Amino acid sequence: MPNKRKPNNTDATLAAKRARRCRGSRGRLEGMPEMPLDILFIIFGQLMPMDLLNIARTAKVFRRFLMARSAAPLWRAARRNADGLPDCPPLLSEPAYANLVFDTHCHHCQKANVKTVFWELNARFCPACRKFMLDKCRLPVDICCCRRDETLSVIAPYCSDSSLSFHWHRVDDPPAKYHRKYNALDDQGKQTHREQMHAFIKPIEQWASDCGNWQEEQAHKRVMELRDIRRNRLDAIVEKLRDLGWGDELNQAFPTFFALRWHSSVNQSRPLTDRIWNNIRDDLVKLMESQRNSRLEQLRLRCLTQRCSTFQRVYRAWHAKQPKKHVLPRAIDLMRRPEVRAVIEQDNEQFVADGDFEVFADNFADWSVEWKAECDEKLRGLIRASEAFKDNIPEDVDPLSLASVVFTCRGCSSYTSSPKRIKMPPLYPTTLTHDCLYPQKHEYSIKDPFERAAVAASETISAHRNLNMRKHTFWSCDSLLLEKRWSERMEKIITAFKKDPKSATMKEMDTVDDIRVCCFQCPMNTPLVQDVMNWRHAIKHYVLHDILKGTVMPDLSADDSEACPLLLRNDPVLTLFVEKDVLQQVLQKEADDRSLLADENEMLISNAWYNCSHCPRGGLSNADLIQHVAQCHSIELPGEEDFYRSPDAEMSIMGPGILVHRALKEFTLSEIIEGDVDDRRIIWVDIEVLKSIRAPNGDVVSANTIHDTLGDEVNVEVDGSRESSHLL
């Protein structure tokens, strides 16, 4: 029989040869089991219960020694080192109690750092094990765990939740088991059982409450301890930085040291040592440099913003005194002037007051002309680059003077719920002061300090945008468009007035006094009511059709759109107004309107909006304006120097002449509505001056009824007089 081959233990031999005793802490406690017992008792008596658990888990000899009943005094001595810890309950041994309180591993899966302890159940479970080790019961405790006999007695153990909305049972120890046991007893046995359970559960509940309070107290102490360590670390780092010459910067951050406190290298619960300081010093020096630069930038920004606000105040005072404001720049536009910018950008130590800017007041008018010329050139470039007008403008014609040039705005389509209703296409020159040409912008998105300060000082409060406060940047025509559809519309309008669309200017169109048009597509144009329009009115009429088609009012519901007359949802069809005998009255009404609109301080225009001359508030109706100046500026009745009509309101407040049939005087309202009138005599009158209308049958008809039924204006007899009113 061949000899068995000896197993090859080369790997094990080499591993044994490589093993060597390391210098340091390894092996220093290997002689503890041979120490005298009195020395071990002295050592173990100074430890915490968790330390004894760890020692018991290191070697079998320690485990046999510490788990013996004779070692109970050692565990009690260690437990007394845990200040305030309740005594060990009768159901637990001292090692088991120490394991429950101090060992943060899950009792089922051994997952570490489990904070939740179910004291009444003597268990610590992680959230995953909790789902199948415990039963989450939402029944009231007095139903689930109690018996309603002579008294409400607890007969089954449970663990309350901190939310008090449910409680816990062990899956292997359900309340049903206790109820079955209780129900199987006779009356004397039930009485004895209740007394036993009361004597058993009540101490456990009190002990669990004490343990919970002790745990919360220990957690609070730990939080305070870590806070003190972090505070001491911060104080030590501050002293180190002062030694490096950062005292002035630290004084600026005192007492919070916010940026330094929350730096990852500072906000640590470890004491600062020389080695740690040497490792983090460079990072903290970079932080201090960054904080210094940021502080100086903020100081510079506040200084520049204050000076920009001062200039804006001076310019607003000059602006309020100007008779014509429809083409004046805003203060932010003139801040770019080299003269103004030089004053604003002086050193922080230089004091700048109103007088430093008031010396420029005599130049504001000339600067405004220069600003307008620059903006005009940008608009001309926009026109020449557009598809509709590229290579299609006569050389001797200024593109801005063409009547066919109608700008549309991207910004106006983004909101509709406002006192301004629908924004009309801005016509030149009021295009220059259109709200959307000053784009909203927050100063924190701008890097240049001067521009950032200028935007920060440009706060405006505009009711029509439903914003409490908005800040805008410099004038820009980026939001303007020259759409092909409006080019085609203007060609139709200008052709209807018998002018050449390629060369007709706005001045030429305004001087046309022998032609007016009506819209054939409008069902409102009946034998009783008819709109008579000049070329500007026709532009606004196109917007009316756009509204009813839903192309300009995005929030128009489908039901509202369907309710619109079908013809109004088509483009207008312009036809010549042929009532020559009435044309002179229409022209007179337009002349009255122009004279009224020429005064920018006229407050009688109900559908206009106004800006305050004393503050950035704008977009106010006439009633809101009176209320604003009274509440904010203590002005009982605003004067010309207190407000001005927004130039942006030109197209919205402009209205055509609405001609109404004489039959409104000669027939009853019901006959008029039913259409039993064929007389073609028509004249003009404004309904807003009427208090009531007396029909031929003697009935008093509300003016609002006529207005809602037939249009904006009617011709009726007022107080027995046949005079017509020509107010707007």
Q: Find, among 203, 148, 204, 137, the residue nearest to 175 by Cα.
A: 137
Distance, CA of 619 to chain centre: 22
Largest CA distance in the chain: 148
Predicted confidence at residue 286, as pLDDT, reads 95
DSSP 72-86: HHHHHHHHHTSTTPP
Q: What's the whole-number mean pLDDT along residues 127-154?
A: 73
Give pLDDT tens digits for 567-620.
455 678 888 887 777 788 788 878 877 776 666 666 656 667 788 887 777 777
Predicted confidence at residue 300, as pLDDT, reads 94
Predicted confidence at residue 667, as pLDDT, reads 45
Res 147 pLDDT > 80: no
Backbone Cα Rg of the chain: 45
> Mean pLDDT of all residues in the chain?
77
Distance separating alpha carbons of residues 480 and 465, to the nearest angstrom: 18
99 or 629, which is more confident? 99
Q: Is residue 728 within 8 Å of 593, Cβ to Cβ?
A: yes
Give pLDDT tens digits for 620-630.
777 888 888 88
Strand partners, 460: 470
Beta strand 459-462 with 617-618: parallel, antiparallel or unpaired? parallel
DSSP 486-536: HHHHHHHHHHHTT--TTT-BHHHHHT--S--EEETT-TT--SSEEEEB-HH
Structure tokens at 541: 């009429």
DSSP 522-555: -TT--SSEEEEB-HHHHHHHHHHHHHHHTSS-TT
DSSP 408-444: EETGGGG---STT-SPPPPPTTGGGG-GGGS-B--GG
Q: Is residue 123 within 8 Å of 169, Cβ to Cβ?
A: no
Q: Find, among 348, 407, 339, 416, the residue nearest to 379 by Cα.
A: 407
Q: Find, among 498, 543, 544, 513, the residue nearest to 403 by Cα.
A: 498
What residue type is assigned to position 327 of the chain? V
Q: Report which secondary-structure segment, H or E, holds 247.
A: helix 247-253
476 or 430, which is more confident? 476
Give pLDDT tens digits for 252-304.
888 888 889 999 999 999 999 999 999 999 999 999 999 999 999 999 999 99
Q: Find, among 464, 389, 483, the residue nearest to 649 by Cα.
A: 464
DSSP 343-397: HHTS-TTS---HHHHHTTGGGHHHHHHHHHHHHHHHHHHHHHHSTTTTT-S-TTS
Strand partners, 718: 721
Backbone angles phi, psi at 435, to 5 degrees: -55, -40
> 322 to each of 317, 365, 392, 642, how far by Cα in Å?
9, 9, 38, 11
Distance separating alpha carbons of residues 501 and 483, to the nearest angstrom: 16
Distance separating alpha carbons of residues 262 and 599, to the nearest angstrom: 60
pLDDT band at 542 (very low <50, low <70, confident <90, very high): confident
Place of tokens 């959230």: 127
Predicted confidence at residue 189, as pLDDT, reads 84
Res 92 pLDDT > 50: yes
Q: Report which secondary-structure segment, H or E, holds 170.
A: strand 167-170
Backbone angles phi, psi at 626, to 5 degrees: -60, -45
Helices (H), 81-144: 94-102, 127-133, 141-144
Determine what percent of the chain is predicted with pLDDT higher than 70: 73
Distance separating alpha carbons of residues 203 and 698, to the nearest angstrom: 96
Q: Provide the residue ranges of all domains of the chain, joining segments of one domain with +.
A: 33-220, 300-481
Q: Find, among 444, 448, 443, 445, the residue nearest to 458 by Cα.
A: 443
Res 499 pLDDT > 80: yes
Q: Is residue 52 within 8 Å of 78, Cβ to Cβ?
A: yes
Q: Is residue 555 within 8 Å of 699, Cβ to Cβ?
A: no
Distance separating alpha carbons of residues 340 and 375, to the nearest angstrom: 19
pTM as predicted: 0.65
Q: Rounded to a whole number, what is the distance in angstroms from the first to the last CA of the chain?
A: 131
Comparing 45-54, 99-108, 571-580, 659-668, which segment has the lowest mean pLDDT?
A: 659-668
